[in-house]
A and B are shown apart, each in its own frame.
Chain A
Amino acid sequence: MHKLGWLRVPLIGTYAFLYIPIAVLVVMSFNASKNPFTWTGFSTQWYSALFNNDLIRQGFVNTMIVAVGATILATILGTLLAIGVARYFRSTVVEAYSLAPAIIPDLVLAIGLLAFFSLIGVTLSLFSVLLAHVVFGMAFVAAVVIARIGQTDSSLEEASRDLGASAFTTFFRITLPSLAPGIIAGALLVFTLSLDEFVVTYFTNGPTTPTLPIVIYSMVRFGVTPEINALAALLLLVSFTIVISAQRITRLTDSV
């Protein structure tokens, strides 16, 4: 730290800029007052209010359905895709195509899917949201697993085949376990992404099945309430926990 000199200013400034808004939000979620701007005392009443809010409860259930479904599908497809791209294609074009859903602007993907679903006659519902989340989720899993494949040694698999194991056995006994940290980290990231996704959901969802971000959006448009603060604080906690775990899983195994 001592060598940084004046560089400490942007470093500390940036972290303050990134975290103060979040901190204010979390602090205000414990405010006793109904006025979201003036602190009058500590209270957890807004958290209990959340559990009694039907719209939020319904949003939570919908969000979990999509997030769990998208995570399962995206993890399977993304892992297979990563193996196919890294081991059998070795082409930068195919790799770029596989990762494109993670880079394409969300609004473009959203309107494209809206147009596509209406053209082929898919009714907008949680199912169409799920299909949409899988496409970008898969790209994130593929990115993490491709990175993992780059770090692993394929000689174990060759040894397994040479010793007479079938391709099937080799895949489940050697390939998958060696990629497991990448796959788990990828799955955790998709889960968080899906949980927090707003733009694509907003365009591909039906009117009767709001997810939590959609609920938050409609609440925020009407103004600031301490209830939103509490919900926001909880979602932040969930995302932070998941992302830090994903990071630890990939890093722990890097040193092995």
Chain B
Amino acid sequence: MNKAEILIIDDEAQIRKLLEITLQSNNYTVNQADNAKNGLITAENHPPDMIILDLGLPDDDGQSVLKKLREWYTNPVLILSVKNNEEDIISALDNGANDYLVKPFRTGELLARIRSALRNSAVEEGDTTITCGEISIDLEARTIKKNNESIKLTATEYRLLSLLAKNEGKVLTHQYLLREVWGPGYINQSQYLRVFIAQLRKKIETDANRPEYIITESGIGYRFISKEE
């Protein structure tokens, strides 16, 4: 069993209790801190495999804690916050958060996000194939298969899909995708992204209108998820 260690930085005792029970019963080891200062000290003394960070801490802004962590900490950081506006979410992702979940949240959803974040950080640079549910991507041959049937993609579609799939489970912002796939001059051309996402969905989703792989995060970006095992 994996015994990944997760540090919770949240000032609300109720949330910490809920997370502790949820995570421990799913075989994670849990550490806790109730403010920014303790959180940073605990993380430094004993670097966890993952950190769950609240944005509204009593002694410091969560975004600045995130920036301080990212100066040295490379494992996943998941933001768990009541703030649900797009600016906060985008700046948390820009500041290096791997994922963002808004309170109130479903514990099933939280566990899925934790699993995929930990799985992602375990992906090695040298991996040449990515498999997500029925879809497999061969990064060397640059081919995509769904249920072992080849899917023909254009060059741009391939770049977009492989970028999403390499970051499975993680929200990639519109700006990030536009910059990586089309180039820095295109970061405001979100309609390009919409077109290619729609085309990709037609090719890989069973029902393009009810996508199961490429999920929209309204106003923020897209997330590629593999159907739960």
Are these two chains actual partners, yes or no?
no
| Residues of chain B having any CB pair with chain A under 8 Å | none
